[in-house]
Amino acid sequence: MDIKDLIEAGVHFGHKASRWHPGMERYIHGVHNSIHIVDLRETVRGMIRASHFLTRLVEAGHEVVFVGTKPQAREIVRQQASRCGMHYVVTRWLGGTLTNFNTIRSRLRRLEELEGMEADGSINLRSKKEISRLRRERRKIHRNLEGIRRMSKLPGAAVIVDLRRDDIAVAECKLLGIPIIAICDTDTDPSIADLVIPGNDDAYRSIEIILSRLSDAVMVGRDKLVARQQAEE
């Protein structure tokens, strides 16, 4: 990863120095116009560590969930998770998504049922009021769970864009011992994450360049997994 690319993407811009978290001190290069500047050498190191971890994890047969519910992160998270064939949450993290996984699976089965009613036309046998209610239910479930509908087991790791915003996801991962890879801005407590990538967690291009690298690492792991499985056949 070229540091010049990170600079162009604005990865080095942190928050106002007055808003910093002391735990981020080792990742901060300095202050410019009252704004903390992230040490991009640490960003590169963090991305390399996270990439190696994800490749090994996926090669071993585990899956990953990408989490980013802030508006500027949603489309990037959806794109990069889909690109590498992994799961994502981009609207809101429903409490129990991981810790009450069986309930979430039941909601996904309900979604499949509702979609089946649309597909075979049986929904049209209901009253207009009932049709409207069922379609609202389908849209709501799809909106909240679209990115994890293929998730049949708990993920081996979570990639989280903003630890502060998605604190419920963080708490569930911690409770279940699921490793967290996170972009940590200068106002974030880095001790929450297992693998820290210091950088701007607010700018679109910053989030994009980091997640695209992690998505690449996942794809490398999947390729290695497929190659090993084919060799064993």
Q: In angstroms, rounded to a whole number, what is the distance separating the alpha carbons of residues 220 and 196?
A: 21
Domains of the chain: 3-98+154-232 (3.40.50.10490), 101-147 (1.10.287)
Identify the pLDDT of residue 164.
95
Q: In angstroms, rounded to a whole number, what is the distance separating the alpha carbons of residues 120 and 122?
A: 6
- Distant-in-sequence, close-in-space partners of 1: CB < 8 Å, separation ≥ 6: 44, 47, 48, 213
Q: What is the pTM of this model?
A: 0.93
pLDDT tens column, 12-64: 999 999 999 999 999 999 999 999 999 999 999 999 999 999 999 999 999 99
pLDDT tens column, 85-144: 999 999 999 999 999 999 999 999 999 999 999 999 999 999 999 999 999 999 999 999
